[in-house]
Structures are given as C-alpha cells and as structure tokens.
Amino acid sequence: MLTDLDATFAALADPTRRAILARLATGEATVTELAAPFAMSQPAVSKHLRVLERAGLVSRGRDAQRRPCRLEAAPLREATAWLAAYRDHWAERYQRLDALLDELRAAGEGQHGGTAR
C-alpha cells in the first residue's frame, strides 16, 4: 500500500495535476478540454495524465472517437485515510498541550493570589 500512497502523493505534488483532478471532479473531459485552461501543449497535458493514470487517479475510456478521462477516487480515499491517522495523532497531542497549559495557568494564578495579569 505504501507504494500506492507514494504514487498518489507524487502525482498530487504538482499543481497542474491537482488542477486536472479538480476539473475531472466535475465530470469527464478529453485531453483537449483538459489542456484548454493551461498554457501548455496537449502532449504536456498527456504526460501529466500518464502520471495520474499510473497513480490510479485517472482512467481513460472510449466513447466512439472520444477518449474521455475520468477521476478515480479510490486512491484519494486511501491517502485521506492515511492522513487522518496523523491528524488524530496531532489532535490528541494538542489536547494534551492545552490541558498542560490550563494547569500551568491555574498554578500561576494560585501563586499570584488569583489576580489576573
């Protein structure tokens, strides 16, 4: 699974690829349609699509002469689940830090006779 995550995060590291995924989240699109908003050639966009395909984030279909690209969400769900474990870890750490700070504030107020500074 780590290799899949590596490919997912490597694909997501590029802003153009993230923009392509954002566009595909609204529906299928051809390479020509995906290339339109970018100042790059269709072959350059195709290279980005190959990276996304290797990561499993995009698939291409066949509709007569059209080869629409579509978003594949499973790798994104896996990456989100992996990140969620770390989010939970850090949330717990921040809660413990907040509790410690509350204790220190309470101890400090006790030493100063309860007056706020």
Q: How much is the average pLDDT of 86-93?
A: 86
User: What pLDDT does 1 receive?
Assistant: 46
- 76 with 8: CB under 8 angstroms? yes
Number of H helices, E strands in the chain: 5, 2
For the record, the structure tokens of 35 come out as 């290339």
Amino acid occupying residue 10: A
pLDDT at 115 over 60: no
**How far is residue 70 from each of residues 27, 66, 94, measured CA to CA in Å?**
7, 12, 39
Backbone angles phi, psi at 58, to 5 degrees: -135, 145
Q: Which domains does the chain have, with CATH numbers?
A: 2-72 (1.10.10.10)
